[in-house]
Amino acid sequence: MNTKSIVLASTSPFRKSLLEKLNIPFECAKPETDESAQLNETPQKLVERLAIEKASAVSNTFINSLIIGSDQVAVCDNEILGKPHTFENAVNQLTKFSGKCVTFYTGLCVLNSQDDKVKSLVEPFHVHFKELSQKEITNYINAEQPLNCAGSFKSEGLGICLFEKLEGDDPNTLIGLPLIKLVKLLKEFDFDVLSNQQ
């Protein structure tokens, strides 16, 4: 058994529900970080940097903890797309995605607050969209209101109707937390998820 506590540096209800799948006790903390991209920063570098910064932002509050940081962006035609926040932006994003492949990059890190040691990675996931009509797009947005989701959809819900196919190692990655890789990173810090079941 590892005595370190687990902390999720996120207030995302999606990430919280994903981490709950591992059936280990954890706390959530709100990281105060500037999520702006730096000049000429690639999407992969951006999400990895932000994942680390989010974990670092709460590390002083939690002693002897393993802190999980994560960040995600959608990329279509080499353009980084975040959360739409408005109905119009969501329509524009999904119109742009119609008939195309959108890659989601999720940055993941685990930080040991005792010695500030960090392990991080970037996990890609590819979403192939159907050809979508404006009516399908507006019907979908009205039904699911995905205004706080990167890419303007919820793959775990009605968003599945928008896709031709999904490609990736772990379906949890698309929702915001690659659990397969997370289990592996925790084990590198001697925290074995199966040994820590209650």
Which residues are CB-neighbours of 194 under 8 A, at least 6 positions away? none
CA distances from 87 to 101, 113, 161, 168 (A): 22, 40, 18, 28
Q: Token match 């706390």: residue?
A: 27
Name the catalytic one among 71, 77, 116, 170.
71
β-partners of residue 165 are 128
Q: Is 71 labeled as catalytic in the residue annotation? A: yes
Q: Which helix (H) or strand (E) holds 66?
A: strand 65-76
CB 33 within 8 A of CB 53: yes
Q: How far apart are CA 113 and CA 102, in angstroms?
A: 35
Catalytic residues: 71
